[in-house]
Structure 1
Amino acid sequence: MGKSRMEAFSDGVLAIIITIMVLELKVPHSEEISSLAPLLPVLFSYVLSFIYVGIYWNNHHHLLHATRQVGGGTLWANLHLLFWLSLLPFVTGWMGENHFSALPTALYGCVLLMASIAYWFLVRRIIANEGKDSLVFKAVGKDSKGIISTLLYVAAIPLAFVQPGIAQGIFILVAILWLIPDRRIEKVMSEHNDD
């Protein structure tokens, strides 16, 4: 089965997620610059989540570019990923509104952890569908970056109850780790096209 419908649906869901998050930003009722200060935690949590959605969109795009076809299992794995990402607006708003307190920060970390696991399942489902000679299998390799990210989320969740700032720092660190372009899929695609 072709992958275009899955890609279009995923793009639409991710666009809606970003739209919902931005609609949660409340406009101050004053024109004074000081009226923005209470909104800074909400704005920060929005920016962080926007970056995460962008990272997932970018990696999802590259992943599907290297994918030849999808099966029913891949469609369900993709929905699993989209489910966890669709919870980002809720945990983003809760964390920002409560100024990064322990429980909302931990739940934010849980959603990020589950999204990373769901992405891993999606990749494995594509590889199972296409085989070990697939471009995705060649590109992903050991996936050190994915493993490190998942372990950092696992560490951040309990740390949120000790010091939420440390958990926030870990979330930022993982985002920075993924902002550095991951060229694995592009490299394999380029080598494949040269053959």
Structure 2
Amino acid sequence: MKVNRMEAFSDGVLAIIITIMVLELKIPEGHNWSALVELGPKFLSYAVSFVYVGIYWNNHHHLLHMVRTMNGKLMWLNLLLLFCLSLVPFSTAWMGESSFAATPTALYGIVLLLAAISYKLLQNAILQQHASGSAIAGAMGGDVKGMISPILYLTAIGTAYLNAWVSCFFFVLVAAIWFVPDQRIERALRKRAE
């Protein structure tokens, strides 16, 4: 199998995830602005999750450019990532529906943590295809964002029962850290092509 086939499959799954999330936003019963205000928590949880799925889509695209040889390990790790991300619509809907109650907010953090771990496993498996002194390995070696994110997710999970809005702050903080696409892979690929 070629990597573009796995990328196309992943793109389709991520598109379905976003579609499922938006379908959870139901049309309000009222016909004025206050009816929309009642949807605030649902829309906020949707917006944050949309950004997260977009971040994963963007970084996943860049990550797959590093694949030299497709193998079963990469396919299963990619499926693990997609499985974790497929839980985002459920946790998003529950968190929004509950107006950010403690347990749904903690579950949302757990889902994001699992997605981060599965992404890191996929990234490490792809890095194993490159020599330790290669431009790709050098570019991905100091992954500060990848090391900080799980700590922030664990903090968000822990604070969900103290104050769910503090947890949400950490979710938004991680999204803000990752919002600007990681340029290290692009630079390394350009350097390798020269």
Category of TM-score, reference length = shorter chain: over 0.9
The 1:130/1:73 distance shift into structure 2, 3 A limit, reads farther
Distance 1:28 1:18 in 2: 20
TM-score of the superposition, structure 2-length normalised? 0.95
* Residues 59 and 181 in structure 2, CA contact (< 8 A), matched pair in contact too: no
The 1:72/1:15 distance shift into structure 2, 3 A limit, reads same
Aligned-residue sequence identity (percent) comes to: 53
TM-score of the superposition, structure 1-length normalised? 0.95
Distance 1:20 1:133 in 2: 42
Name the residue aligned to 1:52: 52
Q: Does 1:31 align with 2:31?
A: yes
1:132, distance to aligned residue in structure 2 (A): 3.1
Name the residue aligned to 1:175: 175
Q: How does 1:117-136 map onto structure 2 within 5 Å?
A: 117-132=117-132, 136=136
Q: Does 1:13 align with 2:7?
A: no
Name the residue aligned to 1:188: 188
Distance 1:81 1:148 in 2: 19
Q: How does 1:102-121 map onto structure 2 within 5 Å?
A: 102-121=102-121
Letter of the structure 1 residue corresponding to residue 159 of structure 2: L
Q: How does 1:89-168 map onto structure 2 within 5 Å?
A: 89-132=89-132, 136-168=136-168
Letter of the structure 2 residue corresponding to residue 81 of structure 1: L
The count of corresponding residues between Structure 1 and Structure 2 is 194
Larger mean CA deviation between 179-188 and 162-171 belongs to 179-188
1:129-183 deviation line (CA, Å, top 9, x unaligned) = 4443555423211211101011100111011011111100000000000012321
* Residues 67 and 135 in structure 1, CA contact (< 8 A), matched pair in contact too: no
1:98-136 deviation line (CA, Å, top 9, x unaligned) = 000100000000000000000000011112244435554
The 1:22/1:135 distance shift into structure 2, 3 A limit, reads farther
The 1:45/1:122 distance shift into structure 2, 3 A limit, reads same
Letter of the structure 1 residue corresponding to residue 154 of structure 2: V
Larger mean CA deviation between 69-78 and 127-136 belongs to 127-136
Distance 1:159 1:100 in 2: 12
Distance 2:15 2:163 in 1: 32
Q: Which runs of 5+ in 1 are unaligned?
A: none
Q: Does 1:70 align with 2:70?
A: yes
Name the residue aligned to 1:88: 88
